[in-house]
Amino acid sequence: MSINRRNFINLSSLGIAGFTLQGFVNKSSAKGMKPIVIATWDAGINANKGAWEVLSKGGSALDAVEKGVMVTEDEISCCVGLGANPDRDGHVTLDASIMDHEFNCGSVAFLERIKHPISVARKVMEKTPHVMLVGAGAQQFALAEGFTLEADNLSESADKAYKQWLKKSTYKPVINVERQTTAQPTSQLDDKFKAPARLSNGDWNHDTIGMVALDAKGNLSGSCTTSGAGFKLRGRVGDSPIIGAGLYVDNEVGAVVATGQGEDVIRVAGSSAVVEFMRQGKSPQEACRLVVEKVRKIKKEKAADIQVCFIALNKKGEHGSYALHKGFNYAVQTAEGHQLIESPFVM
């Protein structure tokens, strides 16, 4: 089953949030591709709006996915940008990656005190012969590129959560809590939109922003940015800056981005694996499902304690997702409108 333009609008206006289909179709016009952008979690709604400003004017998918996730990096939330929760030593450390339609890619990991890690990742891609810079070296590069060194402060909410966490000092990643999943037009969501909630025990759920887009020229690009796992060991790097794990783009096939327990996304080379299933002809949703199933299989009973999710967009503009557990959603923006889709899940 596919969703044509009319159904897409109807589903939005009816407020239908959760449905599991074998792929959503964004049909192209005779003149070119219809741009589309999809992003993880409900924070993806605002991020997509940033990306749409680029895509709707005929801009590139690459510019769109950078601008889009910068919106989230500017928000105070649990898991993205300098307002996010710190590592167990009390410092916010950021991971980000970006990839274009020609296998160009760049990433930064364990980056501190820089507001827009996604833009540093893009500079790594465009200005160096390397793919990845980490830690002090990444920061040094950012400063040389004109980025500002921000204060080593925690946001008010992160400081509160950190103090609460210090009381127990245990690191137990928790799978995401359930979200608001009622699809609404963006305009209605603006006022209500809140950064993802912290759990009452001060722990965090996983809320990376990952975004993939298709532009009017038919080119795909993707981006991913995060503070990683809350109260992580100092120096911990997740899947988000690892090309092939947290993000992968093959312009002949599709683009995929991951969220959830990064260690278990890395283990299965997650985003790359989803792309390969799409290359074999699987729909975006089915390709995501197969890799999530693999995570479940290899994690055995431990799969109950982790969340892993993928969103995928293929060359035709069809999209889909799959999660290990209930509660994951992703945002879609096209010229026809906006939608928040509840992901199917395996457990």
Q: Which residues are catalytic?
A: 208
Minimum distance of ligand SD4 from residue 209's CB (angstroms): 8
Residue 83 contacts ligand SD4 per CB under 6 A: no
Where does this chain touch ligand SD4 (CB under 6 A) — which range of 98-106, 108-116, 133-141, 233-241? 233-241
Where does this chain touch ligand SD4 (CB under 6 A) — which range of 203-211, 289-297, 310-318, 328-336? 203-211
Residue 79 contacts ligand SD4 per CB under 6 A: yes
Q: Indicate the SS3 state at residue 249.
A: strand
- 80-105: buried (b, 16+ CB within 10 Å) or exposed (e) per residue? bbbbbbbbbebebbbbbbbbbbeeeb
Q: Given the complex with ligand SD4, which of 149 and 347 has the nearer CB atom?
A: 347
From residue 70, alpha-carbon distances to 64, 92, 122, 262, 265 in Å are 10, 17, 12, 21, 23
Provide the edge-to-edge strand list for the sheet that holds 36-40: 132-134, 105-111, 94-99, 220-226, 209-214, 36-40, 329-334, 337-342
Contacting ligand SD4 within 208-227 (CB under 6 A): 208, 226
- Cβ neighbors of 7 (< 8 A, separation 6 or more) are none
347 closest CA partner among 175, 186, 183:
175
Residues touching ligand SD4, count (CB under 6 A): 14
Residue 325 contacts ligand SD4 per CB under 6 A: no
Q: Given the complex with ligand SD4, which of 239 and 342 has the nearer CB atom?
A: 239
Q: Given the complex with ligand SD4, which of 307 and 334 has the nearer CB atom?
A: 307
Q: Which of 34, 49, 116, 206 binds ligand SD4 (CB under 6 A)?
A: 206
Minimum distance of ligand SD4 from residue 240's CB (angstroms): 5
Q: Which of 228, 254, 284, 317 binds ligand SD4 (CB under 6 A)?
A: 228
The residues that touch ligand SD4, with contacts defined as CB under 6 A, are 79, 206-208, 226, 228-229, 238-240, 259-262
